[in-house]
Structure 1
Amino acid sequence: MPKTIAFFPEAAFGPALNSVGIAQAVQALGHKAVFLSDPGFLSVYEGYGFEAHPVNLSEPMPPEQMAKFWEDFINGHIPNFRKSPYDQIDNYVLDCWTAIVESARWAQKDLPAVLDRIKPDMICVDNVILFPAIKQFGKPWVRIISCSENEIEDEAIPPHLSGCKAADHACHAAYRARFNAVIKPLHDQFNAFLAENGEAAYPLGQFFEASPFMNLLLYPEPVKFTRSEPLNPAQFQYLEGCVRKEKPYEMPAFAAHGDKPLIYVSFGSLGAGDTDLLKRIIAAIGKMPYRALVNVGDYLGEYSDLPPNVVIDSWFPQPSVIPMVDAVIHHGGNNSFTECLYFGKPAIIMPYVWDGHDNATRVDETGHGFHLHRYDWTDADLAAKLQACLTDPAMKARLAATSAHMQSRNGQQKAAAILDQIVTTGAFHA
């Protein structure tokens, strides 16, 4: 009998589009997929043909005003993008967690009534914070971890958002200590919110818990961390990436270097606000024997006098573009990170915030690309890294093996099969 499976991703394109891919596979099995959504993201899900229900995650405001709020939030923090992950804790990271805690408070106002109206048989949540109404609804709930897998903590691996190397345990300890010290007043407020809603307090630094039913991690096997306590397959499953299908992309004509290697550059919809950096990259590539597609988001009007080997646009169907390119420069968002691995493309990651730091370190230390500081580079540095991406035989072999591994697993179908088993039987049997 068909079931209704509700997806509640964070209001960001990475989690949103990952859930779209899984929802498409769920519907192919005959179930109904619906979305619970920040009002500003309703059109994203509706654009893929899904029913979507608004849940306010902040004070209600028109979608364009909400988009402007986050644009201003990111742009106001651009000076902090120059800082190390450790030095971002008491500015960008704290401000983000403050907004995330506030989102849980707001969601709790709407969620009980929305869930009662939809009556889902299962809820899949992709976020970094607990929404008590989901846990208390009385149906199986599944946690999706679309960011770095270190969102599920382990003392032996780098803490989430730290950008530490896997073996640098001094870095791990320093980051954890600083994060906990800065976050404690906010964490105390969150625990008070949990108590108000009948939930037990979380340990310092923790804002969510693993689902007892299932936790789906997008991280692929070739870049997994070595944990002190391996995750139990009955409760944790790796999807090996989860790349959605997008419309085909028609390659434009380039006025110069039409037969040269193709580079794709994207810092995501929010990272596109760092126009000075993108202009610098465009100018650098303009002097190199390559072509480039550059995602400039909502800032098309900021660009003029482009080099003849560069084409810009406000959006690209990324899963259709990446298979066509030779290398990618991106910000380390988990969609870009896993899509490059899935299609076997080397990446230069210039992180600025959140798990971009973790993914940049991981792509470098596993030999799938390079971590390049967002600002401290020269044209010669960028040229050397691109040359290595295009010619290094060991990297090419490693990427080919990783791509073959991931594509053989089919993350969306694996996720859908797991969800199908839980929603129809009440449990997953590994």
Structure 2
Amino acid sequence: MEPIPSTSKSTGPFTGPSTSRSTSQSKSQSTSQSTSQSTSEPRKRYKMMFMPMEGTGHVLTMIGLAYRFLKRHHDITFVVSKSFAKYVAASPFKIHYIINPAFDEYEDPQERWSKTMARNAVHFHKTPIEQAWLQGVFHDDFVNTVIDVNDQLEKIIREVKPDLMFADYYVAVPAIVLANIPWICVVSANPLSIYQLIDGPPFYSGYSITDSNCNWNDFKRRFRVALSGPCHKLHTYAAERGLKLPPNRLWVASPYHNIYIYPLALDYCEIPGFPLRRWSRIDHCIRPFSADPDPLGLDLTALKPQSPKIYFTLGTMGSADIVLMDIILKILKDTPYQYIVSKGPNGDKINLPPNAIGSGYVNQLKILPLVDLVIFHGGNNTLIECLYFGKKMLLLPLFGDQFDNAARIVDRRLGLALRPYQVKPDDLRRAIVTLLDDDALHNQLTTISNNLKKSNSFEKAIEEIESNMHIFKNQSEILALTTH
């Protein structure tokens, strides 16, 4: 399936044709909430701690991961920023909150990210390589957050004394790396960040696996310069606490074990050196439906049963750009389809066309099974959820790994990608028609969906971790002797 080209002069690396085919497939405030967990014991029950960075996708992925280990009767502690309390307050985990002094702890994360979008919206019009410096700004925020919450995490770790920790942070956290407790690095974004350890396209570049290495090297140089400031800041902070990080690196993998979440149907199996040692791939981390009591978020009775239904979302940050949302919605107005729209944090300022219904909040997991096509920003969670439910996809990436996911979907011929700010109305409408009419793609996505629903990759990863806990403990004792 060929992508619909943009008419912009700079169409970006993800819009070209591809020949790849799909495979089958923080001052500490710490409060603890505890609800009953199952008393049925496995062979060995461990205390496990889950620590996601501030970001809705990261928090939701770690919730899904924690639930799977809870089902194995382990003792689960979840450590999360207070501003994300609503996501975990009703969970059966023991909760410890950290406070980031840079933010209002009661501010909705979506409101915060919408402000970030408003400050930087002009830059999201640019190509990935032109956005490289913006990642320096974002990673400086990530480093500042780690500096602000590190001591809080260190205190919680000392109090809980977990047997194993799971961390999903874009930059190294000294409190975790230096705890002398086994830990697992979780990558819930596009996995190109880990393939930098071998020979993959640069992450955040939107380059295809088939693109020239010359382009890769130029992007890597610009990205390294953009991250030099945050890198120096983190290295200085870490060194003061006894942690020496690898040169020019913000992030480190765990010496124990690591997990990334990405379906086999999209994974970069063609990269030499795949799969990576000490890494487990999990096909998906879909949160249990029984753990999702939220309603749909809107009334669907106005929809006509016989008309194709399309879900439209640009994620928290993308939907905060009211101008962009208005441009896309005006194009969608002139199509014979019905739309369900996630309006985001500025939903009260977004006017929907007659053929659309929407809300500031939409329960995505309950909406996706009802639609025929998803138009979205390319975020990792939504991408995997679309594949899980076998939905056709049209990606409008804005920044970061969204570019990489768009390139991968095109590479695997599983959907189309267009530049949201440059797209012409006819191109967008043509892409929708092409996708809706593609029966072969429907069959291919149905097969992938069935494979994901039957996948035992999660169980295999859990069993591998459980069976190696004694090795992790011995390894931590050896590391403690060599670092003190």
**Which TM-score applies when normalising by structure 2?**
0.82
**Are 1:397 and 2:443 counterparts?**
yes
Match of residue 318, structure 2, among 271, 293, 300: 271
Contact in 2 for aligned 1:3/1:423 (Cα 8 Å): no
Q: Deviations over 1:223-252 (max 9, x none)?
A: 11122222345x111101211123486684
Higher relative contact order (CA 8 A, sep 6+): 2
Query: Percent identity among equivalent residues?
Result: 25
Structure 1 counterpart of 2:314, one-letter code: F
Match of residue 164, structure 2, among 122, 139, 151: 122
Mapped partners of 1:325, 1:180: distance in 2: 41
Aligned pair in 2 of structure 1 residues 57, 161: CA closer, same or farther (>3 Å)? farther
Mapped partners of 2:126, 2:259: distance in 1: 31
Contact in 1 for aligned 2:333/2:355 (Cα 8 Å): yes
Provide structure 2 residue ranges, at least 5 long, that are not aligned to the other structure: 1-43, 475-484
Q: Deviations over 1:10-47 (max 9, x none)?
A: 11111111111111111111112111111211231113
Single out whichever of 105-114 and 410-419 deviates more from structure 2: 410-419
Match of residue 146, structure 1, among 177, 185, 188: 188
**Are 1:9 and 2:52 counterparts?**
yes
Match of residue 371, structure 2, among 325, 343, 358: 325
Contact in 2 for aligned 1:421/1:427 (Cα 8 Å): no
Q: Which residue of the partner structure matches residue 180 of structure 1?
A: 224
SS in 1 for 2:416: strand
Once the 2 structures are TM-superposed, how far is the Cα of residue 100 of structure 1 from its aligned partner? 0.8
Aligned pair in 2 of structure 1 residues 183, 82: CA closer, same or farther (>3 Å)? same
Contact in 1 for aligned 2:128/2:206 (Cα 8 Å): yes
Contact in 2 for aligned 1:154/1:227 (Cα 8 Å): no
Instruction: Write out aligned runs for 1:275-424 (5 A).
Output: 275-304=322-351, 306-410=352-456, 412-423=458-469
**Are 1:160 and 2:203 counterparts?**
yes
**Are 1:32 and 2:99 counterparts?**
no
Q: Which residue of the partner structure matches residue 7 of structure 2?
A: none
Structure 2 counterpart of 1:357, one-letter code: F
Q: Deviations over 1:34-92 (max 9, x none)?
A: 111112112311133432212234536332187644332221111111001111112x2
Mapped partners of 1:207, 1:232: distance in 2: 20
Contact in 1 for aligned 2:47/2:162 (Cα 8 Å): yes
Structure 1 counterpart of 2:79, one-letter code: L
SS in 1 for 2:398: coil
Mapped partners of 2:468, 2:320: distance in 1: 41
Contact in 2 for aligned 1:242/1:410 (Cα 8 Å): no
Match of residue 243, structure 2, among 195, 199, 219: 199
Q: Deviations over 1:111-150 (max 9, x none)?
A: 2111111221111001111111112222210111100011
Mapped partners of 1:292, 1:94: distance in 2: 36
Once the 2 structures are TM-superposed, how far is the Cα of residue 262 of structure 1 from its aligned partner? 0.8
Structure 2 counterpart of 1:321, one-letter code: I
Contact in 2 for aligned 1:125/1:144 (Cα 8 Å): yes
Provide structure 1 residue ranges, at least 5 long, that are not aligned to the other structure: none
Q: Which residue of the partner structure matches residue 29 of structure 2?
A: none
Mapped partners of 1:419, 1:113: distance in 2: 25
Single out whichever of 402-411 and 343-352 deviates more from structure 2: 402-411
Q: Which residue of the partner structure matches residue 22 of structure 2?
A: none
Structure 1 counterpart of 2:373, one-letter code: A
Mapped partners of 2:158, 2:319: distance in 1: 39
| Matched residues, number | 424
Match of residue 229, structure 1, among 252, 273, 277: 273
Single out whichever of 22-31 and 54-63 deviates more from structure 2: 54-63
Q: Which residue of the partner structure matches residue 140 of structure 2?
A: 98
Single out whichever of 252-261 and 181-190 deviates more from structure 2: 252-261
Match of residue 254, structure 2, among 195, 207, 211: 211
Structure 1 counterpart of 2:235, one-letter code: N
Once the 2 structures are TM-superposed, how far is the Cα of residue 412 of structure 1 from its aligned partner? 4.7
Contact in 2 for aligned 1:40/1:67 (Cα 8 Å): no
**Are 1:171 and 2:231 counterparts?**
no
SS in 1 for 2:73: coil
Mapped partners of 2:377, 2:174: distance in 1: 32
SS in 1 for 2:328: helix
Q: Which residue of the partner structure matches residue 14 of structure 2?
A: none
Single out whichever of 240-249 and 58-67 deviates more from structure 2: 58-67
Alpha-carbon RMSD across the aligned residues, in angstroms, is 2.3
**Are 1:238 and 2:281 counterparts?**
yes
Mapped partners of 1:276, 1:203: distance in 2: 41
Q: Deviations over 1:362-390 (max 9, x none)?
A: 11111111111011112221111111211
Contact in 2 for aligned 1:22/1:415 (Cα 8 Å): no
Q: Which residue of the partner structure matches residue 136 of structure 1?
A: 178
**Are 1:259 and 2:306 counterparts?**
yes
Structure 1 counterpart of 2:104, one-letter code: M
Mapped partners of 1:276, 1:232: distance in 2: 42
Single out whichever of 123-132 and 63-72 deviates more from structure 2: 63-72
Point out the structure with the larger helix share.
1
**Are 1:45 and 2:88 counterparts?**
yes
